[in-house]
Amino acid sequence: MPTSLDTILKEIKPLDSSAMAAAQSRQNSLTKPHGSLGRLEDLSIQIAGIKGQLKPKLEHKTIITMVADHGVTAETVSLYPQEVTRQMVLNFLKGGAAINVLAEQIGARVIVVDMGVKGGFQPLPGLLCKMIDFGTQNMTQGPAMTRQQAIDTIEAGIQVVEAELAKRLDIIGTGDMGIGNTTASSAILAALSGRPPKKVTGRGTGIADRQLAHKIKVIEKALSVNKPNPKDPIDVLAKVGGFEIGGLAGVILAGAAYRIPVVIDGFISGAAALIATGLSPQAKDYLITAHLSAEAGHELLLQFLGLKPLLNLNMRLGEGTGAVLGIFLAEAATRTLNQMATFAEASVSEAKPMPGE
């Protein structure tokens, strides 16, 4: 039997405080001034706590890029037509997208998951089918999906992670593709944070001012029509979310349950993190925030979650491209923790307190 959402939520436990204390002690003994590697030190300690190991290794790296269509594209919220979602899946499978290039650079495999692309696909090498439906419904006319479909998306994400565990999995990066998904993500953020749509909605594919104003009105209408319950993340996902967003929420929850660090990409992955941490606040400790997206609502989203990004490169592509860079830094952090010599090992004198200290 596939693992249910309820079961996976029960498996999410606090980080290993003993491993974190041991990692902090080792960091303090390495041949450098205390704290001189900054965020890399903090990151190595967090990963030690996630893995429950003093010297965690991140050899087996996977980017899970989930793809789905959105019915709200009928409201003309994007510069690109809906068929681009399908076309980009084929590009991923051919290795021609930015995520393919960057993942190859760090030695990560890319798992492309069809969560609900309009028209579907014949079986294709490298494409994992977790189809919920041929895209969501138009959320300005009613719920984007049923409550059961929302649960199914999360459980599909859990299943993807569990299948990857058999191939060995040390760290996960989240990625997405789906025309219209910044609209869904903005609606999720507005619903859960209480912030008005105009404060959390950005330009997505690069729309101009007039189309941005229209996009905001579309989100306002969707929230008014559906009235998602901010105390019920599954209701929010069902009313104004997307299949790939729910799937990524499942990836995050499974990562936390199986003690695997999850590096989240940009705004869409952030929306998935909102859903996941709404269901399990403990899951937040297993998240590494790769970067601050140029998408307008991402900074507010991360502030709402209490997460701090590692990078700010003005990226807003999605696909998992930012997550790849975050994984690179995570591996750099663990390598310094594991491989640097201590003062004693290197016969280097340690710092001495200044007079009067």
Domain assignment of residue 47, yes or no: yes
357 occurs within a structural domain:
no
The answer to whether residues 106 and 170 belong to one domain is yes
Could you tell me if 32 and 97 lie in one domain?
Answer: no
Query: What's the total number of domains in the chain?
Result: 2
Question: Same domain for 291 and 341?
Answer: no
Considering the domain architecture, whether residues 139 and 91 belong to the same structural domain is answered as yes
Quick one: 253 and 285 in the same domain? yes
On whether both 112 and 11 belong to a single domain, the answer is no
Residue 351 lies in a domain: no
22 in a domain, yes or no? yes
Q: Is residue 179 part of a domain?
A: yes
Q: What is the DSSP string of 81-101?
A: -THHHHHHHHHHHHT-SHHHH
**Within this chain, do residues 82 and 31 fall inside the same structural domain, yes or no?**
no
And the tokens for 134?
């041929």
Tell me if 25 is assigned to some domain: yes
pTM above 0.95, yes or no: yes
Paired tokens of 76: 């003309």
State whether 27 and 87 are in the same domain: no
Task: Output the tens digit of pLDDT for each of the chain's 357 residues.
Answer: 678 999 999 999 999 999 999 999 999 999 999 999 999 999 999 999 999 999 999 999 999 999 999 999 999 999 999 999 999 999 999 999 999 999 999 999 999 999 999 999 999 999 999 999 999 999 999 999 999 999 999 999 999 999 999 999 999 999 999 999 999 999 999 999 999 999 999 999 889 999 999 999 999 999 999 999 999 999 999 999 999 999 999 999 999 999 999 999 999 999 999 999 999 999 999 999 999 999 999 999 999 999 999 999 999 999 999 999 999 999 999 999 999 999 999 998 888 777 765
Residues 166 and 242 in one domain: yes
Q: Which residues contact 61 (CB under 8 A, 6 or more apart)?
A: 106, 107, 108, 109, 170, 171, 173, 327, 331
Measured CA to CA, the distance from residue 10 to residue 5 in angstroms comes to: 9
Three-state DSSP state, 111:
strand
Catalytic residues: 319
Same domain flag for 96 and 20: no
Contact 2, 158 (CB under 8 A): yes
Neighbours of 43 (CB within 10 A): 23
Range of the domain at 35: 5-56+337-346
In a domain, 27, yes or no: yes
45 and 78 inside one domain: no
**Which CATH number belongs to the domain containing residue 171 in this structure?**
3.40.50.10210
Residue 93 belongs to some domain of the structure: yes
CB 231 within 8 A of CB 244: no
